[in-house]
Amino acid sequence: MKNIFFRTTSLWASVLYMALGLVLTFWPGMSGTVFCWGIAAALILYAAHSFWYFIKARNLGFTASGTLVIGILCLAFGIFCFSRPYVVLSFLPIALGIMLLVDGIGKMPLAVDALSVYSPYRFWVLISAVLPLILGIVLLVNPFRAAKAAIMFFGISILADGLFELITYIQQRRAEKSEYKDIRSTTFLQ
């Protein structure tokens, strides 16, 4: 049985986070509008993933209302980024801080669940929840004056978030394979 308290992470989402993080870290001077459109596309993809996860969880009989709320917020902000990129650029550090806070807050219930059941993933889930929270707070408390620095900081933040998502995904896959081997060996012995 799969650990229901662990968020099903998407390998592709973590790779997308890391790729976007690398681009933003090493080429922060790109057009602000293109940056906003990239954020909008990532938010809409994340919202679609959240909706898919919500439907999957509901079909299995679990509640995932936090995931649905996060998906709706990401979709709304993604549409706003597409339609009003100049507005987003005017408050870029604050917007990036809020996005990271939303991501971290959305992951906190999963981290609490993982800690409460002593999940083997609890360390990685906790880091993937706390890291965006800390980085979001730093951006909100001390917003950068230059958009270029904010873009680089955001790039580093989502690169780190994507890396921890990938580590968590790998840990989950290893545990599932180990569990499958245990089931096969038990079935074989009977």
Model pLDDT for residues 30-40, shown as the tens digit of each residue: 666 777 888 89
More confident call, 130 vs 148: 130
- Is the pTM for the entire model greater than 0.95? no
Residue 89, token pair as written in the block: 């650029």
pLDDT range class, residue 147, cuts 50, 70, 90: low
Could you report how far apart the first and last alpha carbons of the chain are, in Å? 19
What is the mean pLDDT of the segment spanning 153-162?
80
In terms of Cβ atoms closer than 10 Å to its own Cβ (0-12, 13-18, 19+), residue 181 is exposed
Locate the DSSP E strands across the chain: none
pLDDT at 2 over 50: no
What is the mean pLDDT of the segment spanning 4-9?
45
Q: What is the pLDDT of residues 47-106, one digit of tens each?
A: 998 888 888 888 887 777 778 888 899 999 999 988 988 787 777 777 778 888 888 888
What is the mean pLDDT of the segment spanning 159-186?
75
Q: State the Cα angle at 102 between 80 and 171, rounded to 5°.
A: 120
